Amino acid sequence: MADKMEKKFHIHVLSNTHWDREWYMSHEKYMARLVELCDRLLDILEKEKDYIFITDGQFSMVDDYLQAKPEKRELVEKFVKEGRLEVGPWFTQPLETLVSGEAMVRNLHYGIEGSEKLGKAMRFSYEVDEFGHASQTPQVLKGFGIDAALAWRGMPVGAKTAFEWVSPDGTSVIMLYTNCGYGEATAMPMNEEDYVEDIDGVKLNRMGLNNRVPYLTKFRDDYSEVNTQMWLNGIDHSFAQPDILQVIDKISEMFPELDVKQTTCEAFFEAMKNAYKEKGIEMAKVEGELMYTAEQLLESTHSCHPRQKLKHYKTERFLERHFEPSLSLSWLAGFDNKDWAQRRAWKYVLENHAHDTLGCTSVNEVYEEAMARYGCSLSLAQQISDQAQRELMSCITDFPSIFVLNTSPFDIKGTKEFTIDVPEGYGTDNFEIIDEEGNKLPFVITEKLPTVDIRFNPRRGHPTWTDAVTIKALVSIPEVKAFGWKKFTFTGKGSAAEETDVANDYITKQYRNRPYYYHSQAINVMENEYLKCTINPNGTVDMLDKTTNKLYPSQFTFEDSGDVFNVYVHIPPYMNKIVYSTGCQSEITKLYDTELGASYEVKLTLRVPEGKGEFDNRSKVYTNIDIKMVLTLLKGERNLRAELTINNTAKEHRLRVLFPTYLADATKSRGGQPYDVVERAIKYEGSYEGLAEQPYATHPMQDICDVSGANAGLTVAAEGIYEYECMDTEEKALALTCLRSINSIDAKFGRAELYDLTEAENLASITYKLALYPHDGDWRKVYKDAIGYLTYPVFALDRMPEVAVMTDYVKPYHTLPTEGGAVALEGENVMMTAIKKAYNSDSLIVRVLSYSDKEETAIVKLTFPGKEIKAAYYCDLDENRVEAIANDGNAFDIKLRKAQIATYEIEMK
């Protein structure tokens, strides 16, 4: 009779472990546990023919195990193919708001690829412990054929177990919310009654099934709109429960009104959809990023360990904005695409995507391992990029020239900064850069230093060392196409070069003895067509946008405050002492002043409490933080640039740089995110009861943040800064977090000295690059300039490939023109985010993003010399063809929804 009765709840037991690759221990220490976990799991799967296990939604867990025990691969493949061992789809569970959009795509591709090689990838995004979720993740997941996700943190107050999560373009997936954490059904006992567990003499009270089952069903029912539930049988690093199937049988006997079974994520998702359909109700819709603080969000991880965050940014951006485009151009020219190098460089980075690694909430050993991986990735990518660029140059020129490679998605022109090493064979003085028509480009050397050129000789085995000179220079270049190149003749005539006269007043002016400034203090002003920037005695800058006549005073004001909690959460002390740089006296030095640009060095010292004092307040003992800024204004550029170096000597504090705007009518700020620029209310929500954390005034950012009014606005482009706030005060200042210095992992871990996080104190020097873009209130008008600033062009001398010294070297038979490009995109508010060779064919992949708030049309053109479009296809994000696209010659039209990510494959002939 029990089998025929109507079941009160249908319960899907999801047996799993949440596997942090590294966290409060190093990766290798965790490996010792992982191998034992997996060995035991395989034994269980062999004995229990109906047993199902979820490997935490990430391929790396199984990949790590098989690297340790490759002899187990056949057994693993057997269980994956049977559908009893669920692997993937992610390579590692990433922190979505800290990885770039392209990196998120690589994470899923390599995760699914590796899982499919084992038999099958789980097409379900299992991310139980991520610290919030990016706005475009539903669109990314859908692009890989994934319709549902399961997660905990970041969900709105009052969210139910299932809701529809919608990206800005309208794409949606179903989010299955685990409510109040995860692992609630870990270690389910056979005991019916409550019992005591004895561990090393410590007595721990445990619930038996009579109490635990009703507790779990009520716990889930409180959040559910239907009678279908999930129980997560597994938590951080827990081993698979060997007797869970027997426990489930016992629960079924004890509670015949319950339909309980061990199942898969996909089966639970289908059951939830059917339950909503049968009940005739629609799921609620939640749009955009999931960064709510109803439960523990831990958003402050965006600002801890800034040196690792900066290294992450530089490595990830180099791979997608320099490495892949350089290889693509070389491949289009007929050279090998070096797939092995791309795979290897990306996998180092993807290992660092793991949320505790990238969140930088781990012990020193993990920090050191992560930084080493970034170093490996970047070293490989730089070497291969240099090789690919030499290959491309070998098809273009045979005489002294300078080669400009633009790997950004937008055309560039105008004044650019660059640094190159010039071997003595090119001359050492009086350099000139000449275009194809014989015209000299405006060009000035700002610094010149002796150096040594090191060139590896594969024929003789050792490098060749020759004298050289490093020149830092400015040059005004004509247009270079997106993902394109242009060659110029470069000569050194041998006569003495004219020295830059820093006393000239090209870009700067000096005003002395102004009555409202310090006596006899020089006030330095840089001015070009668009901006007038006054460097004040305290080191701040008053920036006038000449286009809108809007003044932005006191830019680069520094704010230092206390931070007394842990790496996850920023909490200021109750008696907080906030220090501002406005009272400092700075040292201002003109570095150069030329017809192409000017640059100043500004040094100041911030006196701050050295750390934590009595009652967790700031110390009464002070220390000095030295700050150096190099401010640069170039001819024809709409931005003020800064290279900002901070030498941190204090602990338990947060240091931010402020950019006041005084935009009284601004109500929204914006921050860059993977494939998006997210809009947020400036007005702070305030604190209220019932939340694990109060709403944050800070927000995630990547590349840019912005605040705009009706007729004016300010965009800040920043390299490697991931947290900002638009302060809800009269100043409406954008506040970018430069560093948090903290040395505590979490109070629940007990004695802090057992977990060494001294590297998180950041008692070191760190350098950021930033640029300020004032505008007329529409950030989109300066967005391409900001991305261009963050994607610096490559200036290189025409160096033959290293293998050109080999006796069997054959010069490339094909010749390229002195300027060209791979592919062009014509349209408003659209950009290419990737060009690359397809994974599985000799086709070109082009990914396009709309950053518009409406539908846009555009034209994609194949422009590489000698290449023609044979066929074009619209693809999903994993490069599977969806439909053919009609092309007209070497171009095809596209139509994009607002915020759409679109991938195209171009077959060539």
Instruction: Quote the CA–CA distance of 336 and 856 in Å, as a whole number.
Output: 36
pLDDT, residue 425, reads 81
Q: Answer for the pair 527, 507: CB distance below 8 angstroms, yes or no.
A: yes
Q: DSSP letter for 821, please.
A: E
Query: Which of 306, 402, 409 is CA-nearest to residue 360?
Result: 306
pLDDT, residue 498, reads 46
Identify the bridge partners of residue 523 per DSSP, sorted by sequence position. Answer: 511
Tens digits of per-residue pLDDT, 557-601? 999 999 998 999 999 998 999 999 999 999 999 999 999 999 999
Q: At what angle do helices 101-118 and 59-68 cross, to 10 degrees?
A: 50
The SS3 of residue 177 is: strand
Q: In what order do the strands lie in the sheet with 891-896?
A: 823-826, 856-862, 891-896
Q: Please name the amino acid found at residue 649.
A: T
Instruction: Quote the CA–CA distance of 126 and 146 in Å, as a whole number.
Output: 11
pLDDT, residue 299, reads 93
The SS3 of residue 417 is: strand
Tens digits of per-residue pLDDT, 3-13? 455 789 999 99
pLDDT along the chain (909 residues), means of 10: 66 97 95 98 98 98 98 98 98 97 98 98 96 98 98 94 98 96 96 94 94 95 95 97 98 97 98 96 97 92 96 98 97 95 98 94 95 98 95 82 94 96 82 91 94 89 89 96 95 55 58 34 82 97 98 98 92 94 96 95 98 91 98 97 98 98 98 98 79 89 98 98 97 98 78 82 97 98 96 89 88 88 97 97 98 97 97 98 96 98 97
pLDDT, residue 749, reads 67
Cα angle, residue 448 at apex, residues 446 and 453 outer, rounded to 5°: 135
Query: Which of 657, 682, 665 is CA-nearest to residue 772?
Result: 657
Query: Which of 14, 17, 11 is CA-nearest to residue 51?
Result: 14
